[in-house]
Structure 1
Amino acid sequence: MCIPAKLNGEGRLTPSTGFPWIPRNHLEPAVLDSDHYSVGSVERLDEFLTKHKEHHEQWSAYWEYTLRLFKYVTNQGLHEFHLPEYGRAEQGIVTIETSVVARHILMLYDELMKKKEQDYPPCYKDMQAWKTRHCFLCCQRRNR
């Protein structure tokens, strides 16, 4: 179950503009190999999403919507869900989507960390004297 959400400055989850979803490679008829298991059908997911398009402002309403979707598609509640021959993980996985700008800054850091110090761009060497954003602008201009 994938649940798009935002984390606000106070550390609270808020609903995203997207809808919760179940990856289609775990829904029939898309399950084609033994590396993937089926939890329901694409038809049931599409049925639910077509009937229930409401957006929620409050996390509690969004969470209830997510639970209803999961139960509709899988015929099991999220907290009771199990598959034969599979164990149950007690924790979830959180992935963080970075903005395009942040992604490029992180890529720049990764590249700089691969280099030896004498190969750093001049503006990176002087970073203590510059504001960070000036350094990134300088590095971007130099690489063009």
Structure 2
Amino acid sequence: MHKNSSNAIAVDLEIEESESYSRSMNPAILGIDASFVYQRGSIRAGIPEKLIDDEFKLVSAHEFGHSILMHVGGISLSWGHKGSTNIILQKVKSSSPGYPKQGKIDLMKYYNETKNTPNLKERVSGSKAVEIDIKRLIWSSSILWKD
């Protein structure tokens, strides 16, 4: 079943054709106010298209996640990336851990890359919405259960 565009979430999609990186974002102050950027120009820089596609999915999921965190926990949870960054400047805190050596990588946290940095393929394949954020999404959805 397809829904028409009148039911769609209003977001901007930009395709970056140059090799320079353009940042996706979602301030999430009034719901979803997202701009997602697909980095097509990265193909010329030698990054495989599959990896660019996977990174786009990861970044889009992260940006969408800001709306959930803002709704359930406010600006400090959302813009502060669950305590891993400075709220205003988005700078990763020195107290933030490096990427986990194994297991899930929390989609909504920033990690201290001075402590360790996985390659892009590892980061994309290991990033997941963690259980608490899935519960936050369900809680915030106001689902009405029928018998």
Q: Same fold (TM over 0.5)?
A: no
The answer to which structure has the higher helix fraction is 1
Higher RCO structure, 1 or 2 (CA under 8 Å, sep 6+): 2
TM-score, with normalisation over the residues of structure 1? 0.28
TM-score, with normalisation over the residues of structure 2? 0.27
Find the structure with the greater CA-based Rg: 1
